Amino acid sequence: MAESESNQKTTMKIIHEKAKCIGCGSCVSLCPKYFEMIEAGKAHLKGSQEDSKTEVETLEISDLGCAPEAVEVCPVQIIKIKE
């Protein structure tokens, strides 16, 4: 592997379909680094950009941290990670 390849940070995206969120709070409990509850009673992906028409939130990250656990625990499977 070339040295420049090993020094590059991989950028991934967390995608959260907020419109389909049932507000159970599991993602917030397991991954408060990326998720929080908002007044509407739904989870919100902190620091994300939201498509106002689809209510899909997207956040670019370089460290997955607790995000995979949030994906696994979501009962309606509306959290995805794209690498």
1-9 mean pLDDT: 48
**pLDDT tens-digit profile of 47-79?**
999 999 999 999 999 999 999 999 999 999 999
- What is the domain count for the chain? 1
Residue partners of 79: CB distance under 8 A and separation at least 6: 14, 15, 16, 17, 27, 67, 70, 71
Helices (H), 23-80: 26-30, 67-73
Residue 5 lies in a domain: no
Give the CATH number, domain containing residue 35.
3.30.70.20
Distance between CA atoms of 57 and 70, rounded to whole angstroms?
15
Domain that holds residue 76: 17-82
Q: Is residue 75 part of a domain?
A: yes
pLDDT value of position 4? 42
Q: Is 56 part of a structural domain of the chain?
A: yes
H helical segments located in 3-78: 3-7, 26-30, 67-73
Residue 10: inside a domain: no
pLDDT higher than threshold 90 for residue 41: yes
What average pLDDT is seen over the chain?
91
Would 40 be classed as within a structural domain?
Answer: yes
